[in-house]
Chain A
Amino acid sequence: MKNNELKVTKVLAFYLGGQILGLVLGVIIQTLISGAFSTTYFLDLSSWLFGVLLSLLGFFYSLVGYYGLVKGLVWQVVGTLAGALFVSLIRFFMGLEPFNLTTFGFSEPAWVVGALVGTISFMAGVGAITDWYKWALGEKTADHHHDIEGFKKYFGVSLDHKVIGIQYTVTSILLLCIGGLFALVFRTELSNSSLEFLSLQLYNSLMSLHGMVMIVSILLGIAGVINYLVPMLIGAQDMAFPRLNAFSFWVAIPAAVILLSSLALGGFDTGWTGYPPLSVRAPLGMSMFFVGIWVAGWSSILGALNLIVTVLRLRAKGMIAFRMPIFVWAATATSIISLTATQMIGLAFQLVLFQRLMGMPFFDPTKGGNPVLFQHLFWFYSHPVVYVFILPGLGVISELLPVFARKPLFGYKWIAMSSLGIALVGFLVWAHHMFSSGMNEYLRVPFMYSTLLVAVPTGVKFFSWIATLWQGKLTRDLPTPFLFVLGGIVVFLLGGLTGPPNATVSTDLHLTDTYFIVGHFHDTMFGGYIFPFFAALYYWFPKATGKRLNETLGKIHFWLMTPSFLILTLFMMRVGLLGMRRRIADYDPALNFDVWHLAMTVSAYLIAISILVFIFNIIKTVRGKADATGNVWNSRSPEWLVPSPLPAHNYDQEMIVVGEPYDYGLEGSKYVEFIQKEVL
């Protein structure tokens, strides 16, 4: 007990110490830059962010020492400074001004190169590229790595897909909280008309970062769920390329740091879409945003590559395509999109970066550039990516429904194919975001048709789910994961059904860039991702830890979040139809939207509270004792047939598929059998 208290004191001390040190450092830097001291620097956002950075470092340091994540972050800071100084030196020799006080000391190219060098340093520091480096030198490395015991392994490089899956998931939840916090801040500003406590510029930065941080959070979240589940579901020991897997995860950390640093480096005001020419004029933060996403893109691409190879090569014996768990189909469809389309957003951002840094006028019409080109490149990725968000979520719904309804998944093949269908048609619809953009007019009608087409495979999923539920034998007391599945279906239905009005061109001309769209995509993303994500967390938590999350707290979480969320988005749509534009810090009081906005803000806070309940639940459960090591949900899936948590190499016995995955209600049927591994 005594020991525990000491530990808590230590952690707190390091946390606060870091915060104070960072704050002081920030003030000193600002004093140096401006040449004069002012007490207002203590209130300045960038000083505080320095504080947050150091406090997190201190926090982790007190937990694990100079190891893994902590080492990586320190190396990142050093690498960033080294890269930036190097560029400044070159500038000096080229006769350019080496430093620039209006862009936080370094010139913009120096910051950008610094960020990239910092990323590489991070990877070297954390140790995610050590083996490759050795290979290049022709050295041999151990085939298997053994993870250190205890929670410390989560802070350093591990090659175990389950550890990486959890690392991804926790990072994702952290980013969700950060992005959510931004939303809470700007929602507070929106609670009534007139500008109260945010400046216009800060509102724009927070709003834009909210969008992108949430999207990165989703990308990491699905990567987490996919990483944790897919090898387990297909009976593999690990992913096909474990080192690449670790790389994909770790590179997302410096990416997130760079992305968030944009807030301290002047912010930016373009929304998450970063359209030029505005993004060419925006402050330094814009470049950090671009670089951050560019790096995060690599995480996505490499993760997807790894997954496709895993699914193609590592399935258990007898697991033909149409006997794969349905989630694996969804994960594969998702990965096809991430693998290919991500390059386009990388390119789009790269082009703007080069226009900012070198004046290459890709999007400057006075020099033959074309601002609309950016939008095509951007949406070629960013539309398909919305299906990246939802396909794994819909996969989770399809995976869990039969377990709780105690019935086979209705129309398995149709659901599997509809995932691929959505992914492929999703590639052909991007210009529906550009109906009013001034692109060639004849493109509008074909893109309307292709967009509407997505409703068909999505509909197949919905109808098949309903047919699965029909006559299903649900328990009297609906368990939390199932509640989240239901919530997901309902909310995603609302989001999906508000898609067609956006797709028919003439109605979209009214809807585009209004809160109706904001409502549409919060519904689709919550319904298609957040709800299923929570369902997955509640459902597989016992698998990962041997402990089951508290049901009562889980239900409080659900019943607090769902109605608040419905109010939030339905009101968004309402004010949107009536004329509320998106991305505005302040709205005309004459529109009489104040009441509606106040209700939305209150709902946002209720959602946040529900998430705090969830986090509390996790902490409480993790500290409790392991009493759910068996088949908690009475599932047929292989991972539940063995005790939880799984050993490092998943299954001690070899798995063979002998039947259909979802034959609930069929006496004596089996999906898999385990046989003793041949001892060599």
Chain B
Amino acid sequence: MSDNHNNLSSQLNQGLVIFIVLAFLTFIEYMVAITNQSLLLLSIAATIKAGLVLYYYMHVYKLAKLDEDADQSSLTWKITTNRLGFWLFILSDAFLFAGLLVTRFNLLGLTRPDLNQVLGLIVTGVLLVSSFFMNRAETYIKAGNKNGFIFSTVVTLVLGVGFLLGVVGVEWQEAPFSAGDSAASAVFFMMTGMHAFHVLTGVIFLGIILNNGRRDLYSSENYWAVEAATIYWHFIDVVWIFFYPALYLIGILG
């Protein structure tokens, strides 16, 4: 019991450390961007952040555990198979966002649209904090702590909705251009729009696991749906890790 408890708190702590590092790196990015234009530094920072999220929050290393010989009707075998499928889906989806980045750099080059920097930093922060809580939700359900899971999921969900409101409700309305004005504005709306669409589906996903979690459908052995929602949510975060500098930080005002 206490061993389990120790394990839980050390895992929660790990999540916190990662969160602090991510927040720090984001801040560095912002400072780099407003002081000098270093595409290289920004790319390195984003790559490090993405790597941290992939490893510590999304647990990409779990893919390597294929336990080929396990009984094909066992739960672990099924979850491993599901995980593999889900990651392939993520990989496929990543190509969509990569395509959007290609579009952005092809059309805008090293210029960027004129956006509200403070707001950008705020929504980025909101998404980052939501990731932190998502990680906690998963950690709690893994430890069989239902209340912790519910609380963290609710916070994640609320932050997710907050992010949506920030982007669609405020940033879109405030932008000094409309979608049809120029390629730059079109790119801005398309990138944030596609990302927001994913956030929206993520929020729905969170709603589903919250509802089912409340009804005790998950246990510390069988919480695949939560794991999937977690991976998905962090994936959305990884996308934003690249979109944020691409839209707000890189290049000169165009």
Residues of A in contact with B (beta carbons under 8 Å apart): 136, 138, 240-241, 244, 301, 305-306, 308-309, 312-314, 339-344, 346-348, 351, 354-355, 358-362, 364, 367-370, 373, 376-377, 380
Question: B235 CB to closest chain A CB, in angstroms?
Answer: 14
A244: which B residues are within 8 A, CB to CB?
85
Contacts of A346 in B (CB 8 A): 96
Closest 4 interchain pairs by CB?
A: A360-B186, A368-B183, A359-B180, A343-B95
A340 CA to B87 CA in the complex, in Å? Answer: 12
CB distance from A377 to the nearest CB of B (A): 6
- CB neighbours of A359 from chain B (8 A): 179-180
CB B183 to nearest CB in A, in angstroms, measures 4
User: Are A373 and B106 in contact (CB-based, < 8 A)?
Assistant: yes
- 14 A-B residue contacts at CB 8 Å? A309-B81, A312-B66, A312-B84, A313-B80, A340-B92, A344-B99, A360-B190, A361-B182, A362-B103, A367-B182, A368-B107, A370-B107, A373-B106, A373-B107
* Across-interface contacts of A380 in B (CB, < 8 A): 99
Kindly supply a per-residue 1/0 record for chain B positions 85-99, scoring 1 wherever the CB is within 8 Å of any chain A CB and 0 otherwise.
100110111011001
| Contacting pair A360 B95 (CB below 8 A) | no
Closest Cβ–Cβ distance, residue A236 to chain B (whole Å): 9
List A contacts of B72 (CB < 8 A). Answer: 314
Q: Are B88 and A339 in contact (CB under 8 A)?
A: yes
Are B186 and A362 in contact, CB atoms less than 8 angstroms apart? yes
Contact A360-B99, Cβ < 8 Å, known A240-B85, A306-B85, A309-B81: no
Which chain B positions have C-beta within 8 A of A368? Answer: 107, 182-184
User: Within 8 Å CB of A305, what residues of B?
Assistant: 85, 88-89, 92
Contact of A358 among B106, B180, B215 (CB under 8 A): B180
Shortest distance from the beta carbon of B219 to any chain A beta carbon, whole Å:
14
Contact B92 A373 (CB under 8 A): no
Query: Is A340 within 8 A of B91, CB to CB?
Result: yes
| Proximity bits, B17-31, A CB within 8 Å = 1, else 0 | 000000000000000
Task: Compute how far the CA of A314 lies from the CA of B96 in the bound complex, rounded to whole angstroms.
Answer: 29
A362 and chain B: residue at smallest CB distance: B186
Q: Is B217 an interface residue when CB atoms closer than 8 A count as contact? A: yes
Known: A340-B95, A343-B93. A373 touches B179 (CB 8 A): no
Report whether B106 and A347 are in contact in the complex, using a CB–CB cutoff of 8 Å.
Answer: no
Contacting B107 at CB < 8 Å: which of A314, A342, A343, A362? A362
Output the least CB separation between A123 and chain B (Å): 16
Q: For residue B84, give the distance in angstroms from its CB to the closest CB of chain A.
A: 5
Closest to B111 in A: A368
Determine the chain B residues whose CB is within 8 A of the CB of A339 once the complex forms: 88, 91-92
Apart from A377-B99, A377-B102: 10 A-B pairs, beta carbons within 8 A = A240-B81, A305-B92, A313-B80, A343-B96, A347-B96, A355-B186, A362-B187, A368-B182, A369-B186, A373-B103
Would A358 and B92 be within 8 Å (CB), given that A351-B190, A368-B107 are in contact?
no
Q: Which residues of B contact A344 (CB under 8 A)?
A: 95, 99
Contacts of A361 on B, CB cut-off 8 Å? 180, 182-183, 186
Which A residues lie within 8 Å of B186 (CB)?
A: 354-355, 360-362, 369
B97 CB to nearest A CB, Å: 9
Q: A138-B215, A305-B88, A362-B183 are in contact. Are A341 and B95 (CB under 8 A)?
A: yes
Q: How far is the CB of B147 from chain A (nearest CB, A)?
A: 19
